[in-house]
Structures are given as C-alpha cells and as structure tokens.
Amino acid sequence: MSNATLSNETVHRVSFLDKASLHIPILRVLQADGTTYENAVLPVIDQDLAAKIYDTCVFTRVLDERMLGAQRQGRISFYMTCTGEEAAIIGSTAALDKGDVILAQYREHAALRYRGFTTEQFMNQMFSNEKDLGKGRQMPIHYGSKALNYHTISSPLATQIPQATGVAYGQKLKGERNVTICYFGEGAASEGDFHAGLNMASVLKAPVIFFCRNNGYAISTPTEEQYAGNGIASRGVGYGMHTIRVDGNDMLAVLAATQQARAYALENNAPVLIEAMTYRLGAHSSSDDPSGYRSKDEEAKWQQHDPVKRFKLWLINKGWLNEADDVKTHEQYREEVLAAVKVAEKLPVPRLDEIIEDVLDKPTAVLKKQLKDLKEHINKYPKAYPKSAGRL
Amino acid sequence: MAQMNMLHAINEALSIAMKADERMVVFGEDVGHFGGVFRATSGLQEQFGRDRCFNTPLTEQGIAGFANGLASHGMTPVAEIQFADYIFPAFDQIVNEAAKFRYRSGNEFNVGGLTFRTPYGGGIAGGHYHSQSPEAYFTQTPGLKVVVPRNPEQAKGLLLAAIRDPNPVIFFEPKRLYRASVGEVPEGDYQIELGKADVVKHGTDITVLAWGAQMEIVEKACVMAEKEGISCEIIDLRTLSPWDIDTVAKSVKKTGRLVINHEAPLTGGFAGEIAATIQQECFLHLESPINRVCGLDTPYPLIHEKEYMPDELKTFEAIKATMAF
C-alpha cells in the first residue's frame, strides 16, 4: 500500500482517533467449568495431544513447586516459576512443529519440557554441573537446547525479538517449512527491540509468531504504568500484522489461535502477533516479594482462573482423565524431581578449562596464558578454590 | 554520625538532594512505589509524590533519552538503570547524546543536571547478566564523569556531588556491598569532591589502587602483605573519569611500584589507561613493571565466579611478585 492509498476515506473536519477506535475482541473457547462456549470453534486436538499438554502442565507445576523449595533451602541460587501461565506457554508450543524454532524470554521452561527436555537436563542446568549443556555459565533457568530448537535464554529483555525475525527470515530463505515463535512479556514490549523486531518482521515478511504473555506485571510494575494504549495487540495492527488477543488461561483458545497463526505465517511468509491475557501467580523470581506491590485479594481472584484446573475439568468432562490417575502422575513427578535433584547436586561442576572455551571458536593465546596462570595460582591456594582445585 | 548500609546511605542522599532541589526527579524500572529492586529509592514516592519519583515503562533507551530531555530543559534527572548489565540499550543515548550535548551545540544546550545510578559488579552469583563492570565503555567516552563509591559514607557524599555536578555523571554502585557494607555516615548534607582519589592508607613500598567493591579486596591483600613486611599505600580512585593522575603519580613516585585491581576483564580495562599514564609520569621512579589484577578476558562465568574474580589472594601474589621483580 503506497502512502497515496493509505486512507480510503477523506474527511473535512478535524477528528482524532483514540484507543477505542480499535475494536479488539478476546478469544475464549473454554469456560470456567471445563465446558466449551456454545459455537466455539475448537482447535485440532485428539486424546494423545491433550494428554501430552496436560502431562506437561503437571510436570511444570511440580517442578516449579519443588525447585522454588530447593531455592529456599539454599540448594540452588535462583528460581523463576511460570505458575498461572502454563496455558499460554504450553498451548502455544503444542501448536508447533518440532522443527519450529523457539526464542523464549525466561519464563517458558514449560515449552522446553513439551519439546522433550528431560528432568535430568533441567537439574543439570540449575545445579550448574558438568552435564549442563550451558557449561555452568549462566544462572538457573537459563536453559537452551540446539537439539530441541530452543535458543539459550539471555537475561536482557526483548533482545530475542528482532533475533526471532532474523531466524524466521533465514527459515524462509532456506526454504524450510517451519516458523519461529518468540515469547516475551508485556514489559519487554516497552523495549526498543520490540519495535525493531516487529516492524522488520512485517516489512521483510518473516514467518514468525510473536507471542506476548501479558501477565499483568513487570517485576513490580503493573500494566497501568507500562502502557496507556489498548494492550500489546493494538501495536500489531500498527505494524500491519495479523493480530489476535486470547484468554491466556484458556488452553484451547491459545492452542486454536497458535495453530492458525502458524498456518498463516507459513503460507504467507508473514508474522503474527498473539497477545495472551494472563496473570503471573507467583513472584517475579525467588529474589522478589510481591506483597510490596499487590494484594493477596488480587492473587486470590486470579487463583480462581487457574488455567491448569480449567483444562483439567475439560479433560475429565471428555473422559480423558480421572482423579486417581491425576494424583498418581503428580506423585510420580514429585518423586522423579526429588530423585533428579539428589543426583544432579552431587555431580561436579564443569572443569576449569571450560572457562576459556567458547569465548571465540578457539581460545586466544592471551586466554590460554590467563588459564595457565590461574591454574598455577589455584595450585598454590587449593583450599580457597574448592570447586576447581581437585580437578585442574 | 549514624551506622547504616550503603543502600540506606544512597537513599538518604537522594532524599536530601530532592528536598534541596525541587527540579530533581527520580525514575526508572520499579523505582516508584516499590522503591526499586534493591530498595534504593524506598519511600521517595511517598515523600515527594508520584510526579517526582516514578516507575517508567521497561525501556533503558527510553529512560536515558527521557533523562537527556529533562536535563536539557533545566531539570535534575536521577535515572536508575536496574543493573549495569542492562545499560546497553541506553548506550546510544548516553554515548552519542548525553556525552556530546554540550560539545556539539557549542554549549547552547547541555545535560549537565543528569545522573545515572546503576548497580554493577559480581560476587552475588549473578552470572553473565547481573555481574558485569562496564565502566571502561564509558571512561572511553569524553563528556561523561564516571564515579564508583566504596562504602556508605563515600556513597552518600559522592552521590550528592554527582547529582549537583554540572556534567552528566554515571554513578556505578557496587551491589555486593549494598547491604554488606555498613559504616558510620555523617548526618545531613555533605559532598565529596569528584575527580579526587583518596589515599586510604599510607605506605612506602608499593601503591595498590582500586575502586568500588574491590577496595575491601585490596585492603585484605595489603593486610597479608604487611605481615610479610611490605608497606602498602592504598588508593581508592573514586572517580574514574576524570581521574586523579596527580595523587596516583605522587604515590608511585614515592613507592616506585603499582598494582591496579579491577573486576572487569583485563584487556581494554581502565587499568590499562592508568598503567600507560603512570609509566609516562613516573618512568624514572618505577622499580618494577606496573601490575594489573583483573577479571579474565571471558564473559562473567557463574560457576567459576570465584576463580574469575581478582580476589585478595591474586592481589597478594601480585604485590609479592611486584616487590620481587
């Protein structure tokens, strides 16, 4: 559309548009009681897919509960839960092909689990042991897996957004029949990288799904202090992008929206923006205490909208789940997580030699000299460096 | 005098400065009602209102650009960047804008009223993105002042001076000392002059130079060295840009030896600049090469943090090696 044809209507008196000018409905499929809305169009889902989605929900709940506990006991240094956002994360990932690339923010470990990251792999990363794919270099929950097409997490916010556009453009040029999904929060959408990434994706026609978890808070900052417009979805339209707002606590709505977004992105080599309205039930991280900025009443209200409970009711209504099996699965995962913790925390940390690997493709002469000097120093004071002294 | 930690001292400095200057505003991510993720701005919104202490949307480049605009219009913005690791989206606004506002306009405009506060440094199990010491990116930029305090008393006096300095200042706060460093802090309003190093201990054999959180590290190393009969003179540089060449050169002319310690990687670190200048100023007085004890030339690693850091043992060894040269 050239500038000459942008407006198909001419007016002759001043008239401003405002945020109410844009009508953005929210997609809901599943009701609180686990039944679907009349006339709701369901996603493509069979019993196997439903079981895998629910299994990932249960695992994630158990993992979050146990590992937050482990952090409180001082066994790991840091943790982040995704409690309350499981439908947004798992429902969207479940709509994808395994070859689709995921660039996440940091609260999407449920997506990685859905892809097949093992309990042991989660533990190895959190305990920074010698089996951690990231070689112990990053804080807990900064997972990544080339095999599962899940980019390694970077703490700085929104940096993954323009990267996702680049990945997707590469997929297009290579002729792959895959898309990229990029997760971020409504806070990260305030960063300049958000604008850069979405605008470039639209202009350059990249098959990328931008998935915003609008969970109400960026650490302590509520959405009222984050943006004044009509959420994040209104911006997608501004970038000329297919856009939808969904109930992020509605597994079936998220799944349906993402399935169609994927098909559209692939067929049209074009981006899609999904804004999932949800709520961060837990603290921002194990370093945060939400009692300083929000009420227990507010949290309790959102507990009523628990996305996992809602999906579970649907499964029970369908006859695809029963309480006894559900209790058993919870128990099994609790035991599995606890056992994996006990193994992972006993494994040694990566060898000191790893410290200079991967800075560049090969360590420079300067780095080799720094490592040699460091080893000599540690040999002189082995007690001061217990993690590495015994294994130089 | 009152006993307090560094966060409390910083909070007090902000409060005093806001009382004295009604044009001063404090903002950044989570700094409003919540008081910042480290609570440095606690109570300021209650005390001064939402117009003067407030949350911004989550955008460092926005925060820095907004601060430039406020300062160019005669306000006194004190902006918090939540972690120094997250200052890079603001790099353009700081390096190309704040630092050049005065020069490029022939002093038609300036942003001298602005101060950036940002927690920096390691030792908190923060990995790559909650541990970096990016001061040298900014010391290489003419037009900025760069300040790093070592304890609560210094933090309060230096921050008050930074806020009132007629130039843009980046104030790096050593976050591992936020609660760990507790000390006597003078009451009321006082300033510590920027651009002046502080000789914290006099000695005759060797000069040991650091700043910020590494001051307590070099002090420990010097206690070890003194036990071996080495008399150390310890200097806190305090302001990295512009830095106090005279005080450092005077000390090195006396001792003939210099060890510099910083957390940032060795290559391209600010110690290189100090070493080059001091060998120029003190060449005929030097008894040994200037020694640097720094972070490794790697990203900041989580699990090998202890090995990476330029700790007191590495500093002690460097002091001995410099003496034995």
Strand ranges for chain A from DSSP E? 26-27, 101-103, 180-185, 208-214, 217-218, 221-222, 242-247, 272-277
ipTM value > 0.90: yes
Can you tell me the mean pLDDT for B214-243?
98
Q: Find the residue in B nearest to A218 (Cα).
A: B58
Dist CA B4 CA A9 (whole Å): 66
Residue B198: what are its φ and ψ, rounded to 5°?
-125, 120
Residues of A in contact with B306 (CB under 8 A): 384-385, 387
- Interfacial B residues in 216-245 facing A (CB < 8 Å): none
Question: Structure tokens of A385?
Answer: 């460096």
Tally of domains within chain A: 2
CATH superfamily of B2-185: Thiamin diphosphate (ThDP)-binding fold, Pyr/PP domains (3.40.50.970)
In this structure, the answer to whether residues A375 and A239 fall within a common structural domain is no
Q: What local confidence, expressed as pLDDT, does residue A65 receive?
A: 98
Tell how many helices (H) and how many strands (E) occur in chain B: 12, 14
Q: How far is CA B45 from CA A63, A219, B53, B74, in A?
A: 38, 18, 5, 21
- Residue A274: closest CA among A260, A288, A293: A260
Based on the residue annotation, tell me whether B130 is a catalytic residue of this protein. yes
Q: What is the pLDDT of residues A159-198, one digit of tens each?
A: 999 999 999 999 999 999 999 999 999 999 999 999 999 9
Q: Shortest CB distance from B304 goes to which of A190, A225, A355?
A: A355
Question: Structure tokens of A321?
Answer: 């789940």
Q: Answer whether B2-185 and B198-323 agree in fold.
A: yes
Q: What is the pLDDT of residues A352-375, one digit of tens each?
A: 999 999 999 999 999 999 999 999
B2-5/B182-185 β-pairing: antiparallel
Query: Which residue of A76, A137, A287 is the best one to mutate when testing the B interface, meaning the one whose CB has the most B CBs within 10 A?
Result: A137
Residue B241: what are its φ and ψ, rounded to 5°?
-145, 120
Does any domain span residue A226? Answer: yes
Residues of B in contact with A381 (CB under 8 A): 313
In this structure, the answer to whether residues A226 and A93 fall within a common structural domain is yes
Q: What local confidence, expressed as pLDDT, does residue A5 receive?
A: 77
CA angle A148, A101, A340 (to 5 degrees): 30
Q: What is the pLDDT of residues B113-170, one digit of tens each?
A: 999 999 999 999 999 999 999 999 999 999 999 999 999 999 999 999 999 999 999 9
Residue B232: what are its φ and ψ, rounded to 5°?
-105, 140
Can you tell me the mean pLDDT for A73-84?
97
Q: What local confidence, expressed as pLDDT, does residue A81 receive?
A: 98
Chain A contact for B55, CB < 8 A?
A: yes
In this structure, the answer to whether residues A359 and A218 fall within a common structural domain is no
In this structure, the answer to whether residues A335 and A366 fall within a common structural domain is no
In this structure, the answer to whether residues A141 and A39 fall within a common structural domain is yes
Write down the domain spans for chain B. 2-185, 198-323
Is the pTM here over 0.90, yes or no?
yes
| Residue of B12, B29, B80, B130 with catalytic role | B130
Does any domain span residue A381? Answer: yes
The answer to whether the Cβ–Cβ distance between A139 and B30 falls below 8 Å is no
Q: Find the residue in A nearest to B295 (Cα).
A: A370
The answer to whether the Cβ–Cβ distance between B34 and A388 falls below 8 Å is no
CA angle A99, A102, A105 (to 5 degrees): 170
Q: Shortest CB distance from B59 goes to which of A156, A190, A387?
A: A190
Gap from A138 CA to chain B (nearest CA, Å): 5
Q: Could you tell me the pLDDT band of residue A79, with boundaries at 50, 70 and 90?
A: very high
Chain A contact for B175, CB < 8 A?
A: no
Question: Structure tokens of B49?
Answer: 């209102």
The answer to whether the Cβ–Cβ distance between B86 and A157 falls below 8 Å is yes
Q: What is the pLDDT of residues B12-68, one digit of tens each?
A: 999 999 999 999 999 999 999 999 999 999 999 999 999 999 999 999 999 999 999
Does any domain span residue A261? Answer: yes
Question: Structure tokens of A45?
Answer: 């889902």
Does any domain span residue A4? Answer: no
CATH of residue A234: 3.40.50.970
Percent residues over pLDDT 90 in chain A: 96
In this structure, the answer to whether residues A113 and A157 fall within a common structural domain is yes
Residue type, A142: H
The answer to whether the Cβ–Cβ distance between B34 and A292 falls below 8 Å is yes
In angstroms, how far apart are the furthest CA atoms of chain A?
84
Does any domain span residue A11? Answer: no
Least confident among A4-8, A351-355, B279-283: A4-8
Q: Is the pLDDT of residue A335 over 80?
A: yes
Dist CA A372 CA A366 (whole Å): 10
Contacts of A114 (CB under 8 A, 6+ apart): A52, A53, A56, A90, A93, A94
Can you tell me the mean pLDDT for B77-104?
98
The answer to whether the Cβ–Cβ distance between B125 and A139 falls below 8 Å is yes
Q: Shortest CB distance from B58 goes to which of A155, A188, A292?
A: A188
In this structure, the answer to whether residues A378 and A309 fall within a common structural domain is no
- The domain containing residue A375 runs over which residues? 352-389
Hey, how many other C-beta atoms are within 10 angstroms of the C-beta on B202? 11
Identify the CATH number of the domain defined by range B198-323: 3.40.50.920
Dihedral angle of Cα A269, A275, A279, A283, to the nearest 10 degrees: 50
Q: Shortest CB distance from B307 goes to which of A138, A157, A385?
A: A385
Residues of B in contact with A287 (CB under 8 A): 37
Percent residues over pLDDT 70 in chain A: 100
Q: Could you tell me the pLDDT band of residue A1, with boundaries at 50, 70 and 90?
A: low
Contacts of B103 (CB under 8 A, 6+ apart): B142, B143
